[in-house]
Chains A and B, each alone.
Chain A
Amino acid sequence: MSQNNTYYHPEDLKKFGNIGEFGPDLAKKFFDYYGSVFADGALSAKEKSLIALAVSHVVQCPYCIDAYTTDTLEKGATEEQLWEAIHVGAAIRGGASLVHSVQALNKVKELGI
């Protein structure tokens, strides 16, 4: 149990590297993969960081939001870029809910006279 009886604790972000304690092989594979994903490639590391910030909001991971807010600032992103990225995530999330209303629409029509 964490010291202050909460599931999320900012201090725990630093312990992410320890997740391999009981399974080092898979953790290593994951971190190698993770490192490669975020390296400069066809997309720049900064663009990838902005994508990660958007996704962190969609998956609502407080650790990732903390890490990628810092990371995007470190990579020189403007506050406007951070917020546009977050809205992209929010728009997809909202859109993904709303697009399912087509199913509701279909059902309403199916059930109606």
Chain B
Amino acid sequence: MKSLLARGSELSSSKEQFRILSEVSERKALPLFAEKLQESGLFPLFPTGVDILQVNVGKLCNQTCKHCHVDAGPDRKEIMSKETMQECLVALASPKISTLDITGGAPEMNPNFRWFVEEASKLGKKIMVRCNLTIVLAGEKYRDLPEFFAKHKVEVVSSLPYFQKRRTDAQRGEGVFDRSVEALKKLNEVGYGVPGSGIVLNLVYNPGGAFLPGGQSTLESDFKRELKENFGVQFNSLFAITNMPISRFLEFLLESGNLDSYLEKIVTSFNPLAAAGVMCRNTLSVGWDGSLYDCDFNQMLDMQLEGEVTKISDFNQASLDKRKIRLEQHCYGCTAGAGSSCGGSLA
């Protein structure tokens, strides 16, 4: 499968995605997300601060998952430069930011990825990497990634949509499950997920279709039992994350005829408790070209920050703390049911 962009699909444009979401919302008389927030006394939505700097170092990826909100893939060429990474490091030095969260694409495919991790590590910040697992087996130059991560005490967060082959491969590509398990074993070998090792491996569960993630703790115990019994694999925590109705998951929803019911479902499952804790409130998202966004989803929809600061090179904590978070209908994905963020359920 190729990215939407490479296929010349209309859905690769954020304008078209907004058009579809608002068309369904109007036809189904779904309330605007902003209206719903207003009912909970949360509108306009302000940040609580910038605790996490989430840096998307590029859209290049060795996989082309069906649910990808980035429209990443081997055919994408957007890559963050070393200069922009340097600008991110300057911002990261701010004492209020505790964590660097590196995402992509497959972030490890950025040629300056390791340098970036090493420099961030010198700043003494917590570093997280969104590792898709199969990259560890994608060639000689990636083979020592587990050791490299362990050396810098990087927290590894890896998507494994399900503990069985069929549903995982359907979502992320043929053979992805077996290779993911192999990569997990390699991470376990250097201490990841092993109690007392001091290095953390968290997994991400995404529903394998047009339904929401249920209780995170039940899922976590199912994943732990099944992965341990069947493959001898261990991990720390499971984050249950809702699929966002944008980009390639939006394509799936349209093609499978599930779009209307999925949107209705996330709207009717609106949870004010989750709304209060959405990740855009404590996270700032940086795009491959240094542009700033409230979150990785807004980034993929080209919803750049409004206000004085729009580039990481102009990072200014006080000004960023005052900004209003930009909200659209896809935001319902963060507030449905138990809520969803990069760190899993919210309520």
For the complex, give the distance between the alpha carbons of A79 and B163 in Å.
12
Q: Which residues of B contact A14 (CB under 8 A)?
A: 264, 268
Instruction: State whether A45 and B215 are in contact (beta carbons under 8 Å apart), knowing that A73-B209, A74-B207, A76-B222 are contacts in the complex.
Output: yes
**A28 contacts the other chain (Cβ, under 8 Å)?**
no
**Could you tell me the dominant secondary structure of chain A's interface residues?**
helix
For the complex, give the distance between the alpha carbons of A73 and B207 in Å.
8
For the complex, give the distance between the alpha carbons of A14 and B268 in Å.
10
For the complex, give the distance between the alpha carbons of A44 and B218 in Å.
8
Contact with B along A58-92 (1 / 0, CB 8 A): 00000000000011011110110000000000000
Instruction: Tell me the minimal C-beta distance from B278 to chain A in angstroms.
Output: 21
Instruction: Tell me the minimal C-beta distance from B196 to chain A in angstroms.
Output: 28
Asked whether B218 lies within 8 Å of A76 as measured between CB atoms, the reply is yes
Instruction: Count A interface residues, CB 8 Å.
Output: 12
Asked whether A75 lies within 8 Å of B207 as measured between CB atoms, the reply is no
For the complex, give the distance between the alpha carbons of A70 and B213 in Å.
10
Asked whether A76 lies within 8 Å of B211 as measured between CB atoms, the reply is no
**Could you tell me the dominant secondary structure of chain B's interface residues?**
loop
Asked whether A45 lies within 8 Å of B207 as measured between CB atoms, the reply is no
Instruction: Tell me the minimal C-beta distance from B44 to chain A in angstroms.
Output: 30
Tally A-B pairs: CB < 8 A: 33
Q: Which residues of B contact A44 (CB under 8 A)?
A: 218
Asked whether A75 lies within 8 Å of B209 as measured between CB atoms, the reply is no
**A57 contacts the other chain (Cβ, under 8 Å)?**
no
Asked whether B164 lies within 8 Å of A75 as measured between CB atoms, the reply is no
Q: Which residues of A contact B214 (CB under 8 A)?
A: 45-46, 71, 74-76
**B150 contacts the other chain (Cβ, under 8 Å)?**
no
Contact with A along B251-270 (1 / 0, CB 8 A): 00000000000001000100
Q: Which residues of B contact A78 (CB under 8 A)?
A: 164
Q: Which residues of B contact A75 (CB under 8 A)?
A: 214-215, 218-219
Q: Which residues of A contact B219 (CB under 8 A)?
A: 75-76
Interface residues of B in 182-240 (CB under 8 A from A): 205, 207-209, 211-215, 218-219, 222
Q: Which residues of B contact A79 (CB under 8 A)?
A: 166
Instruction: Tell me the minimal C-beta distance from B136 to chain A in angstroms.
Output: 26
Asked whether A73 lies within 8 Å of B218 as measured between CB atoms, the reply is no
Instruction: Tell me the minimal C-beta distance from B254 to chain A in angstroms.
Output: 19
Asked whether A74 lies within 8 Å of B213 as measured between CB atoms, the reply is yes
Interface residues of B in 282-302 (CB under 8 A from A): none
Q: What residue of chain A has the Cβ atom nearest to residue B166's Cβ? A: A79
Q: What residue of chain B has the Cβ atom nearest to residue A46's Cβ? A: B218
For the complex, give the distance between the alpha carbons of A102 and B211 in Å.
45
For the complex, give the distance between the alpha carbons of A73 and B214 in Å.
8
Instruction: Tell me the minimal C-beta distance from A45 to chain B in angstroms.
Output: 7
For the complex, give the distance between the alpha carbons of A87 and B82 in Å.
59
Q: Which residues of B contact A45 (CB under 8 A)?
A: 214-215, 218
Q: Which residues of A contact B209 (CB under 8 A)?
A: 73
Chain A interfacial positions (CB closer than 8 Å to B): 14, 44-46, 70-71, 73-76, 78-79
Chain B interfacial positions (CB closer than 8 Å to A): 164, 166, 205, 207-209, 211-215, 218-219, 222, 264, 268
What are 30 inter-chain pairs, A to B, with CB distance below 8 A? A14-B268, A44-B218, A45-B214, A45-B215, A45-B218, A46-B214, A46-B215, A46-B218, A70-B211, A71-B214, A73-B207, A73-B208, A73-B209, A73-B211, A74-B207, A74-B211, A74-B212, A74-B213, A74-B214, A75-B214, A75-B215, A75-B218, A75-B219, A76-B205, A76-B213, A76-B214, A76-B218, A76-B222, A78-B164, A79-B166
User: Which 8 pairs between the two chains have the least Cβ-Cβ distance?
Assistant: A75-B214, A74-B214, A76-B219, A73-B211, A74-B211, A74-B212, A70-B211, A76-B222
